[in-house]
A and B are shown apart, each in its own frame.
Chain A
Amino acid sequence: MNADDSVRQFLPKASLEALIAALRDQGYTVLGPRERDGVIALREVHAAADLAHGMHDEQAPGHYRLTADDDQLYFNYVLGADGPKRYLFPAQQRVVQLHVEGQRFVMDAASPAPPKLAFLGVRACELAAIAVQDRVFGADDPRTFRCEAELSYCETRRNAFFVAVNCTRPGGTCFCVSMGTGPKAERGYDLALTELRAGFVVEIGSERGREVAAQLPLRLPTEAELELADIKLAQARHSMGRTLQTDGLRTTLARNIEHPRWDQVAKRCLSCGNCTMVCPTCFCSTVVDSSALDGGSVTRTRLWESCFTHQFSYAHPGPVRHSIRGRYRQWLRHKLSTWWDQFGSSGCVGCGRCITWCPVGIDITEEACAIAATPSQSNSPFAEAWEGEGEAEAAGEVPR
């Protein structure tokens, strides 16, 4: 591909162990793909034997199965429901704890130091999703004041080491090529691996990556190995499970607030929130306060929240988005359209998780495509307001 061949190295397969050991020696908790109850999950790995290998995942809308596959390949599957989000932005996190002393509330000890995590086997779409969350949580701009939970994200994020794995066999619900995020990791990694049967073609993405690489038994790859890696990645680009036509989509979705397709998908959508839980860019949370039985202490806990619950949009008269139609529409339009206005990028990275893990197999690419195919222009009282934005986008301007 377009990488400078002079910096590409080769790590023999048996030396994956050395990579894990090197990371652990540097004090990292290594997190990698492990098989758990028939699903690839991101969990701590102590040795290469812990990693899921010789497996293949079959993914389709509302469908996921792991099957036995080429025993010599580690990363012949793509993503499970889990991703780095679980560790950078934990699903449940104590924000603050107070206890009563005399007539006052006193804050308990501060949060523990942020963990030092190394993600092994993270995919290009995940790195793109982390870049999106960086913008959301302000990790890309340390001058901005952020609250407690976001500080926790930023600190964990800064400490984290990423060993990317380029996808050579995309899954049935993948569409990273459409979203411009994969299948090859272009940035955001410390080390990137492309798996061949004999080992990995290694690219170094950062100074930290170079330091770890220096401890590995790397050799120069042969021309055949580099060519094979390039062919595998080129093939991957052409075997995406799904495509999404993104040209003009942002404007089309902005204008089609009252499209009949929203009613059709609302009949299928369960409003269960699975898509938001597995989405690597979804960042919504809620805080729950709890108190001890004697009233002597209170705890505030932050939990992953979903825009598919009533509580999410609850205001004084009740939930603002009181219908499933309204909630699905808000979610899809946020991902593919209004995210641009809010954060200057797409909120979708094409990982396909929301399609696979929807219990009734609703496909974001199919829904967006259905609206783009039959746009019903200007049937919304708000349509006028979007006209200017559409022109800006057409001119290649991205408002921030």
Chain B
Amino acid sequence: MVSGASEQSGPPARPKLAVYKFSSCDGCQLSLLNLEDELLDLVEAVEIAYFLEARRRVLPPPYDIGLVEGSISTPEEAERIHQIRRDCKFLVAIGACATSGGLQALRNWADVREFTRAVYANPEYIRTLDTASPIAAYTFVDFELRGCPVNAQQLLELLTAVLMGREPKVPRHSVCLECKRRGLPCVLVSNGEPCLGPVTQAGCGALCPGCNRACYGCFGPMEQPNIRSLGRWFSERQERSPRTLKRLMRSYNGYLEPFKQEGDRYEQIEQGQE
């Protein structure tokens, strides 16, 4: 429970919210700013103490709630996260980068120095880690909110729950339940798409199937996913290659188990075929 009560006289102070950015695209921070209908209520309920994307003013720590977007990809980030952990009472990793390493964790299978040589004119100025990692790989986080980007309503539910001192209601089941509740046609069954919905955690409200597109797993693995069985169906019935299956696994949450294990397995099969 986060207490907003102040020992000083006058109106009780609001709980302080801090929002941090690590290696990321800012999309999750934007999800918070996109809560247009609720934004006024939100600033009533919490004090925005540190949120560089939204306001210049910075209040000193400690903060009651800290939201961290992005992966840890540089030596500076690997240091900075420890101070943030000390500054925040309740620390939440938000988004695929912060909870799995994100798209940039594709470097974890490659030589990052080779990339910098290929991309930058003066690669010697680039200080980066060999791997991109989730926040929880470096420090304890109180909660992880999945998604690329996070779902704004889930973010609101998280903040409301933390302010009320209750457990956030975040389902761990498949996307299919949300898809079927909405009455959407199944793109896997009726269109032969390689939809990852049956192994992916819900929370997006079946966003992509709602646009007649296959789920690409941006909320990461659901509870106890049976990826092996779904992969077998894609390979035998949809004639998808091991390379396609590897790339399906290795996207926004490719470094998160058990997506990682299955992606690695398809890579081995792919290499065995060559």
Chain A residues within 8 Å of B, Cβ to Cβ: 36-39, 41, 62-66, 80-82, 86, 91-92, 267-274, 277-278, 288-295, 303-304, 306, 308-311, 324, 356-361
Contact = CB atoms under 8 A, between A and B. Distances in A.
B169 A357 contact: no
Given A65-B190, A92-B181, A270-B229, A311 B172 contact: yes
Nearest to A323: B224
A361 B233 contact: yes
Contacts of A289: 169
Interface in B210-248: 212, 222-226, 228-230, 232-233, 237
B253 interface: no
Interface in B163-215: 163-164, 166, 169, 171-174, 176-177, 180-183, 185-186, 188-191, 195, 197-199, 212
B185 A38 contact: yes
Nearest to A360: B233
Contacts of B152: none
Nearest 10 pairs between A and B by C-beta?
A: A277-B180, A272-B198, A39-B185, A91-B181, A272-B174, A309-B173, A272-B176, A270-B198, A64-B190, A360-B233
A37 B188 contact: no
B185 A81 contact: yes
Given A356-B189, A360-B198, A360-B229, 8 more contacts: A37-B185, A270-B229, A273-B174, A278-B180, A324-B224, A324-B226, A359-B197, A360-B233
Dominant SS at the B interface? helix
B42 interface: yes
A7 B52 CA distance: 77
Contacts of A65: 190
Contacts of A277: 176-177, 180-181
Contacts of B257: none
Contacts of A82: 183
Contacts of B226: 267-271, 324
Interface string B141-153: 0000000000000
B233 A62 contact: yes
Given A309-B223, A360-B230, A270 B189 contact: no
11 contacts: A63-B237, A64-B189, A82-B183, A272-B199, A277-B180, A278-B180, A293-B42, A309-B172, A309-B173, A311-B171, A360-B198
Query: Which of A41, A271, A278, A306 is most buried by chain B, counting CB atoms within 10 A of its CB?
Result: A271
Interface stretch (B59-67, B97-105, B117-125, B154-162): B154-162
B274 interface: no
Nearest to B185: A39
B145 to A, nearest CB: 16
A359 B189 contact: yes
Given A293-B156, A304-B180, A306-B173, A270 B199 contact: yes
Nearest to A273: B177
B173 A288 contact: no
Contact of B174 (A62, A270, A360): A270
Contacts of A274: 176, 180, 186, 198
Contacts of B237: 62-63, 361
Contacts of A288: 169
A81 B160 CA distance: 35
B81 interface: no
Nearest to A295: B164
Nearest to B231: A360
A63 B189 contact: yes
Contact of B160 (A63, A268, A291, A359): A291
Given A92-B181, A274-B180, A357-B186, A292 B233 contact: no
B38 interface: yes
A310 B186 CA distance: 23
A310 B173 contact: yes
B198 A359 contact: yes
B41 interface: yes
A293 B45 contact: yes
A203 B195 CA distance: 43
Nearest to A64: B190
Contacts of A310: 172-173, 223-224
A293 B41 contact: yes
Contacts of B225: 270
B188 A359 contact: yes
A146 to B, nearest CB: 22
Given A81-B180, A293-B38, A359 B164 contact: no
Query: Which of B159, B160, B182, B228 is most buried by chain A, counting CB atoms within 10 A of its CB?
Result: B160
B164 A290 contact: no
Query: Which of B44, B181, B225 is most buried by chain A, counting CB atoms within 10 A of its CB?
Result: B181
Nearest to B177: A273
